[in-house]
Structure 1
Amino acid sequence: MSGVGKAAPWRRSRPASARLVRTAEHHGSSRLKARPARGIARRLGRVGAPVVTEAAPHIPVLLDEVLTALRLGSGPASVIDGTFGAGGYTRAILAADPQNRVLAIDRDPTAIAAGQALVEAEAGRLTLVQGRFGDLDTIARDHGFAEADGVVLDIGVSSMQLDQAERGFSFRHDGPLDMRMERAGESAADLVNEASEAALADVIYHYGEERRARAVARALIEARRRGRIETTAALAEVVAGVVRAEPGSGIHPATRTFQALRIAVNDELGELQRALHAAEHTLRPGGRLAVVTFHSLEDRIVKQFFSARSGRAVAASRHLPMAAQPAPRSFTLATKGPVAAGEAECRANPRARSAKLRAGERTDALAPPPLTALETLASLPETQTRGGRR
């Protein structure tokens, strides 16, 4: 596993010369014709139907489009599901062909435990591993998936995690302020109660794109002088005191702050970068990589990776370090721009409204060395704890 999770990203100090520039992106979305795979999803009852778990139903997002992007249904395939979750994509991939094999990976021990019944039911076709998708190249080699036909990544927190109050991911359910996917290492409560005001402002601004980041950080410092902030409700109350809800948006004032803390605690952007490079080293020529994202920071990283690897011009980004030499054309684009969910899916599953799918097909070009943990850390916003300066 990557060593990044051992030291929280928000505990790093930034070189004095480092200066981060916020960028914005305006783009449209496209629709991917999903006819070849739609039969698979309908046989599974997957279109608009939930995968049932103990906590709550989980609906795989853009399932038809993902199956189409992976080109399943044309023969046996070995596919890596880097974000197993409730198993929605994995089940559909296995159903696409009786000879398909899946290597499914998840950081969350709860997801791994819940998936054991499926492992037994699939009689050797499913290998389920607890680990980080940033290490999928190593995990693939260890389990006989060194030249995979496809890799799918569904980035971010799952509906299952959001709906479990004890996990502390959401302000919708009061619970301990945790947010750790692996339930190990430093929690969101540690960050909120121990980081400096400058560090908190950096995290909330860069990872949550919250304009009121400084005000939120200041309010958190004031609140914790009265006692530790230990619950999601307490955190949401502090944030709501300084961030106003946008009229008619239906978005809770604490949404961006919760997103920022979750990303920082789990090093989600660094993990995504490593996963893209790991997939590049794992796919066979002609294999497909499909990535579903849910906010602009993730989508920007995926877009710039595919643009760089397909030979397109790429603007500089603080989230994706540019190589000194042009990268080989190791991918061709399998989607023209981001693929968005249709209105029917969005009505059935509101979470799908923010989802974007991008996909690429591996060429036979040699891939550059995978990013190391240090390289991804160097490209992300860096902060410092007690008394640090921005």
Structure 2
Amino acid sequence: MDNARAKGGKHIPVLLNEVVHALKPVDGEVYVDGTFGAGGYCRAVLETADCKVIAIDRDPDAIRRAEEFAKEFPGRFQIVEGCFGDMAALLPAVGINKVDGVMLDIGVSSFQLDEAERGFSFREDGPLDMRMAQDGETAADVVNTYEQDTLANIIYDYGEERQSRKIAAAIVKDREEEPFTTTRQLAGLIERILGFGQRKKGQKQVHPATRTFQALRIHVNDELGELRRGLAGAEEIIAEDGRLVVVSFHSLEDRIVKQFMAERSGRSSGGSRHMPGPIDMGPEPSFRQIKKGAVKPSDDELDVNPRARSSRLRVAERTGASAKGAWHA
């Protein structure tokens, strides 16, 4: 999410200038930050124009940070607790039916990663939790109770981990002796059975548990389902000529955003121009894409903020066509 940690320990938003440029804030308009985090994007937008930002977050810690943040921008900032996938219902409930732009910064925030007690990372030992909203099923519940094949599928589908079946089998075997309760416990198991492998010259060493932790986090928080609902919700509430700006951090997220924007802008394959008969052009596009392809971080940003390396920004502009409703990649 937005508050990645730069060298020296400061939390800074990823692709900040690019996000603000893509959103194009204007005085008097209303924008949504669907993933408040530490408020980095909110602050930049509010300082760029005399506008209003409605922020959404499901993390109680973020809600507490936002309450202090609101004191800096009285009357121009409002926090709504909930999932950004529900924005089409959350915003009318606070009197907002249409907005001029939506920002989404997908994934886990650095605050969540850096707080061991949240259980998102294995850099520091902590409870095997990973819940963004701090309620519901934990990652420990998943690894201790799910069947082996289900575990393997989660790790493969959401972590793109080729050794998913080997990892799942080891988890099921070890949990019979002792349930998994901490991040280091699970990471240690995966390190033991996979090792670190060969590192190419100049490449950063990636811990073998990285993909499995990503998979569990995505599953526990239904992150990809949330993203799909959020994109459809943004389509519903963004006014004509408003912007949808999305920052993602791995291929699963970016693929969903790319496919959504392509389909909703009429760029999905429909038929062949070489075939006889009329071509079905489909419904009128609800978005137009501002830039073909994704915006990537500059070398200067990567130098001060290595976590931005995998980030990608995509932007589209709302047309006057009706929203198409729920969307499934």
TM-score, length basis structure 1: 0.77
Q: Which residue of 2 aligns with 1:95?
A: 47
- The alpha-carbon distance between structure 1 residues 246 and 306, as it changes in their structure 2 partners (threshold 3 A), is farther
- The alpha-carbon distance between structure 1 residues 49 and 198, as it changes in their structure 2 partners (threshold 3 A), is closer
Deviation of 1:57 (Å): 3.1
Deviation of 1:244 (Å): 3.2
User: Which amino acid letter does the alignment assign opposite residue 68 of structure 2?
Assistant: A
Taking only aligned residues, the RMSD between alpha carbons, in angstroms, comes to 2.1
1:223 equivalenced with 2:170 (yes/no)? no
1:115 equivalenced with 2:71 (yes/no)? no
Q: Are the counterparts in 1 of residues 286 and 324 from structure 2 also a CA contact under 8 Å? A: no
User: Which amino acid letter does the alignment assign opposite residue 346 of structure 1?
Assistant: L
Q: Which residue of 2 aligns with 1:212?
A: 163
Q: Distance in 2 between matches of 1:220 and 1:355?
A: 31
TM-score, length basis structure 2: 0.91
Structure 2 residue runs of 5 or longer lacking an equivalent are 271-280
Of 305, 313, 329, the residue aligned with 1:357 is: 313
**Secondary structure in 1 matching 2:101:** strand
User: Which amino acid letter does the alignment assign opposite residue 184 of structure 1?
Assistant: D
Structure 1 residue runs of 5 or longer lacking an equivalent are 1-45, 316-324, 380-390
Of 200, 203, 224, the residue aligned with 1:269 is: 224
Q: Distance in 1 between matches of 2:5 and 2:106?
A: 21
Q: Distance in 1 between matches of 2:5 and 2:172?
A: 44
**Secondary structure in 1 matching 2:235:** helix
Deviation of 1:347 (Å): 1.1
Q: Which residue of 1 aligns with 2:260?
A: 305
Q: Which residue of 2 aligns with 1:172?
A: 123
1:286 equivalenced with 2:241 (yes/no)? yes
Identity %: 50
Deviation of 1:115 (Å): 1.5
User: Which amino acid letter does the alignment assign opposite residue 295 of structure 1?
Assistant: H
Q: Which residue of 2 aligns with 1:366?
A: 322
Deviation of 1:314 (Å): 5.1
- The alpha-carbon distance between structure 1 residues 136 and 210, as it changes in their structure 2 partners (threshold 3 A), is same
Q: Distance in 1 between matches of 2:186 and 2:282?
A: 44
Deviation of 1:370 (Å): 3.2
Of 150, 156, 169, the residue aligned with 1:199 is: 150
**Secondary structure in 2 matching 1:242:** helix
Q: Are the counterparts in 1 of residues 5 and 305 from structure 2 also a CA contact under 8 Å? A: no
Q: Which residue of 1 aligns with 2:38?
A: 86
**Secondary structure in 2 matching 1:303:** helix
Q: Which residue of 2 aligns with 1:28?
A: none
Deviation of 1:294 (Å): 0.3
1:136 equivalenced with 2:87 (yes/no)? yes
Q: Are the counterparts in 1 of residues 153 and 164 from structure 2 also a CA contact under 8 Å? A: yes
1:337 equivalenced with 2:293 (yes/no)? yes
Deviation of 1:120 (Å): 1.8
Deviation of 1:71 (Å): 1.3
Which 10-residue stretch deviates more, 139-148 or 167-176?
Answer: 139-148
Deviation of 1:313 (Å): 2.1
Q: Which residue of 1 aligns with 2:277?
A: none
**Secondary structure in 2 matching 1:305:** helix
Q: Distance in 2 between matches of 1:326 and 1:285?
A: 20
- Render the CA deviation track for 1:9-40: whole Å, top value 9, x for unaligned: xxxxxxxxxxxxxxxxxxxxxxxxxxxxxxxx
Deviation of 1:368 (Å): 1.5
